[in-house]
Copies of this chain bind each other. A is one copy, B any other.
Amino acid sequence: MTNTSLDDPLPSWTEGKAKRKIIEFVEQVTDESSPHFVAKELRIATFDNDGTLWVEKPLLAQLAFYKWQLFDSGEFDHSEKAAHFFAKLKRLIGDFFDLLRFIGAYIFSGLTTEEYRLAVSKWIKHAHHPRYQQKYTDLTYLPMREVLEYFSQNGFSNYIVSGGTANFIRPWSEDVYKISADRIIGSSTRTRLKIKDGTFSIKIEPIPFSFEYCSGKVLGIERRLAKRPIAAFGNSLGDADMLRWTRTTAHSLCVLIHHTDDVREYKYSPDPFYHLGKSTLSYAAEGNWQVVDMKNDWQQIFAFENESVKDK
């Protein structure tokens, strides 16, 4: 998949502190003679998805998917329901996450989880990013795919912990990240079991169940694994609690991907526009996280520029 060679596990990273720190950490926790050695079953690494493993600008992929499902899939009834929808949309526009949940619930209530995952599969195979004109899965960050592979080669269990819904990521995570469906911890709505004529279907209910964002990331991981990660990667304030929590383990690696490259990608703050309290970068400074400067630390940003990925 990536250019990973035996000599250099992270070839698309510039030589420097960030790369060195990741490699040093992996070497320490896997070396039985090191005081920082960590048993395999405790080598838990958690990764935010949007903005950490793939591009999230100008629009979150999940929102692009909803937009398509709503307006372009031809499967959606635009009538009375739509009028009510747009009225509500106006009121919600100020709160991005309510908006996300609302659109999701509106579109997918009535669908089964399997139908939802199928719709995602269908979309992700053809959808192109408006700027790069590439598939979203090819807009995953090559340096991060190298980290995933390097970690898993070293006995780590990689988990994605996303504010997006788990079922939006599962249809393609195994292919793209080599992370299986059961290792996606993500937001979810309630579901309901419907049994009809011997057919079992699991219907999506338009009621939020869990929201893996800020403290919800910590609670989601703890609920599922009853363990703390020893490594965590994020890019925004929504990941700060997860990274701070990870920092409370004896020896940890906390990495903040900082979007600093307005030429090759986007340049923006880790803090959302509605941010009021402490900034993500001040958490990073306090906790001595490794901040990755995308512009300088990554020689290549996207997977799509990589021939071997194209050929796949």
Task: List residues of chain A with CB under 8 Å of any chain B CB.
Answer: 41, 113, 117, 166-167, 170, 180-182, 188, 191-193, 195, 198-200, 202, 209, 215, 218-219, 222-227, 241, 244-245, 248
Cα A192 to Cα B222 in complex, Å, equals 11
CB contact under 8 A between A225 and B182, given known A200-B218, A200-B248, A248-B200:
yes
The oligomer's copy count stands at 2
Would you mind naming 27 contact pairs between A and B with Cβ atoms under 8 Å apart? Answer: A41-B180, A113-B222, A117-B226, A166-B223, A166-B226, A167-B226, A181-B225, A181-B226, A182-B224, A182-B226, A182-B227, A188-B223, A191-B222, A191-B223, A192-B219, A193-B215, A193-B218, A193-B219, A193-B245, A195-B241, A195-B244, A200-B218, A200-B244, A200-B248, A202-B219, A209-B223, A224-B224
Contacts of A180 in B (CB 8 A): 41
How far is B13's CA from A135's CA once the two chains are assembled, in angstroms?
54
Is B219 a contact partner of A191 (Cβ separation < 8 A)? yes
Q: Which residue of chain B has its CB nearest to the CB of A190?
A: B219
Docked-complex contact A202 and B222, CB < 8 angstroms: yes
